[in-house]
Amino acid sequence: MRAFEYASPKSTSQAVALLGRTWNDAQVLAGGTDLLSLMKDDVVAPKRLVNIKGVEELRGVKLDGSGLRLGALATFEELLDNAELKQRYPSLHAAVDGVHSAQIRSVGTVGGDLCQRPRCWYYRAGFGLLAQGANGRSMVVDGDNRYHAILGNAGPAYFVSPSSLGPALIALGATVRMAGPKGARDVPAARFFRTPRTSEEREHDLQPNEIVSEVRVPPPNGPNATYEVREREALDWPLAAASVALKMNGNRVQTARVVLGHVAPVPWASPEAEAALAGKAITEAVAQAAGDAAVSKARALSGNGYKVQLARVAVKRAVLAAAGGGAR
């Protein structure tokens, strides 16, 4: 690991003032579960680490009539231990519960989950976010791509968004607040994630001199659920996931939000699946139709065709779970 400066501010404004104009100038340290690994592998080498763990205003999980506030430093363990969150936002609780490492749960944070970098092995091996060779062609297309994107992969990005919370937050209509030198700005969770078009761009709508400070989630309009498909029960990222939020009119779906995870460079909203649910009473056949619709535009690479079926199943089971009360 390369040498770096270390700062430990006590307020958000102090933290922002310690950041720089480029990502190499400074980076934020919260739980450190992702950043420190990247530094050890020499994928990133910031000149300064800004430790925000002492900034109390970034902590907390609060539920009231206006919804849910998640401080950027709220840990996964805090979310899991909140009985009211589990009752009102089962999709979020299920997403957190899918992280099976006690160590990650105790130090991993909401902000860190949203801002973590792709798990793509080309990126982690130092070949850049888009993993492009000397000829400008992606190494992913011709290489081992078994865990890469099946949606939103027309190029040049083929990695998948690793965020556990992203799909559920988007389905629930959450807003991400960021603090910067010009004050706070809010963006819908759906716009916080983005697909880079060049190697200089990032996969988040976050500037080098900004910090994610909190996430706001409105009161749910109805049942919601998350379903994940993973290779093993030990600590691992899902192969495919789906979060569903329904607004019901009697026993029929008035509106639906269906967002897939781990299958595209961003959490992938599926208007096709949402249309398949609108106006319908939830049955196994309707849930199956939603799953089919969600992957109707999937484009598998040479080694990841199996993910199409996993995504289809994740949507179907998330819909059924939501209709059954939101249990995972």
In the chain, what are the domains?
Answer: 224-323 (3.30.390.50)
Residue located via tokens 């994630």: 193
Where residue 234 falls among pLDDT bands split at 50, 70, 90?
low
CA distance 217 to 63: 9
The mean pLDDT of 126-140, rounded to a whole number, is 91
Kindly tell me if the per-residue pLDDT of 327 is higher than 50: no
Cβ atoms of 216 and 177 closer than 8 Å: yes
Question: Read out DSSP for 96-136?
Answer: HHT---HHHHHH-BHHHHHHPPP--HHIIIIITTTTB-TTS
Q: With contact defined as beta carbons under 8 Å apart, do 127 and 41 qualify?
A: no
Q: CA-to-CA distance for 49 and 304, rounded, in angstroms? A: 37
Where does the pLDDT of residue 204 fall: very low under 50, low under 70, confident under 90, or very high at 90 and above?
A: very high
Picking from 14-18, 48-52, 60-64, 97-101, which range would have the lowest pLDDT averaged per residue?
97-101
Among candidate residues 294, 245, 314, 205, the one with its CA nearest the CA of residue 92: 245
- Please tell me the distance from the alpha carbon of residue 245 to that of residue 112, in angstroms, as a whole number: 24
Least confident residue range of 101-105, 129-133, 245-249? 101-105
Task: Please tell me the pTM assigned to this model.
Answer: 0.96
